Structure 1
Amino acid sequence: MQLVVKQHTTTELNAVALKAYSRIADAWSLSLRDAAALADMSESTWKRARKPGFAGELTKDQLLRLSAVIGIYKSLELYFSEQLARSWFTRQNAGPLFAGARPVDTAIDGGLPQILAIRTYLDALRGGA
């Protein structure tokens, strides 16, 4: 018996990532500006991208950002109560990566490296490391 693995197209991967990211942006109550900036898109592109059937292409950086944000969301949902998990990313934080700023603002300002640092930070908290 031979196992057949379906190769997903770039369009399918983009659609899944955008759908998940859109749900996360809603769960976190991100503004249109913040959701677009976090994904490294213009607001007009984000308005189109969050709708089913978006035919645009995501850059490798954008896809990595969305993937890392999905990981951040998963860590928050596993580590905190629902209320805190949903508000953590948009609340001021005195932690070492944030210096009193909101994690979303540091992620937008620091781009992919900061988004990945936040994901690593939360994974370490969740794992007890």
Structure 2
Amino acid sequence: MARTASLRTHPPALTPIEPQTFAREADRERLSEVAIKAFLNLAKAWGLSNAESAGLLGVSASSLDRIKRGYRPELSQDQLTRVSALVGVYKGLHLLFADGTADEWIRRANRGAVFDRLTPIEAMIEGGIPRMLEVRRYVDAVRGGL
């Protein structure tokens, strides 16, 4: 007996999923709280001062103090990009180094072209998002991720 077309099964149609972006308010609203938590944990692990933390996150010192006390604002696209880059650096360093060096590395002066003899923290504060992304790519490249 021949199979008929009506007996064939087809997989269900997939609903396209829109990519997550930091540009959409819904994504920023959904991601802000977890990004703040990750940033505060990272700042603690790296032993960042308030000034360093505020500089890296792109907020004033008083805004950072409010965030540390529990205020959870919706982060901007730029702030989420900063946190994403910093978490990538943190993760890459912990994949590269199995000891305390992972958290100490960001305080060591570096002769690499990305750093201009500054510590990675100083370079990222001075250079903002573009430098943060460069540092992330640098760490990924050193560990063989690129």
TM-score, length-scaled by structure 2 = 0.77
Q: Aligned residue pairs: how many?
A: 127
Question: CA RMSD, aligned part only?
Answer: 2.3
Q: 2:32 aligns with which of 14, 26, 31?
A: 14
Q: Distance in 1 between matches of 2:123 and 2:77?
A: 21
Q: What SS does structure 2 have at the residue aligned with 1:82?
A: coil
Structure with greater helix percent = 1
Q: Report how far residue 56 of structure 1 moved.
A: 1.8
Q: Does 1:23 align with 2:41?
A: yes
Quote the sequence identity (%).
Answer: 40
Q: Distance in 2 between matches of 1:127 and 1:116?
A: 16
Which letter maps to 2:122?
D
Identify unmatched segments of 5+ residues in structure 2.
1-11, 21-25
Question: How big is each residue's C-alpha offset from its partner over 1:32-52, in whole Å with a ceiling of 9 and x where there is no partner?
Answer: 100110110001111112344
Q: Distance in 2 between matches of 1:55 and 1:39?
A: 14
Checking the alignment, whether the CA contact within 8 Å between 2:92 and 2:143 is kept in structure 1 is yes
Cα distance change, pair 67–50 in 1 and its aligned pair in 2 (3 A): farther
Q: What is the aligned partner in structure 2 of residue 64 from structure 1?
A: 81
TM-score, length-scaled by structure 1 = 0.87
Checking the alignment, whether the CA contact within 8 Å between 1:17 and 1:66 is kept in structure 2 is yes
Identify unmatched segments of 5+ residues in structure 1.
none
Higher relative contact order (CA 8 A, sep 6+): 1
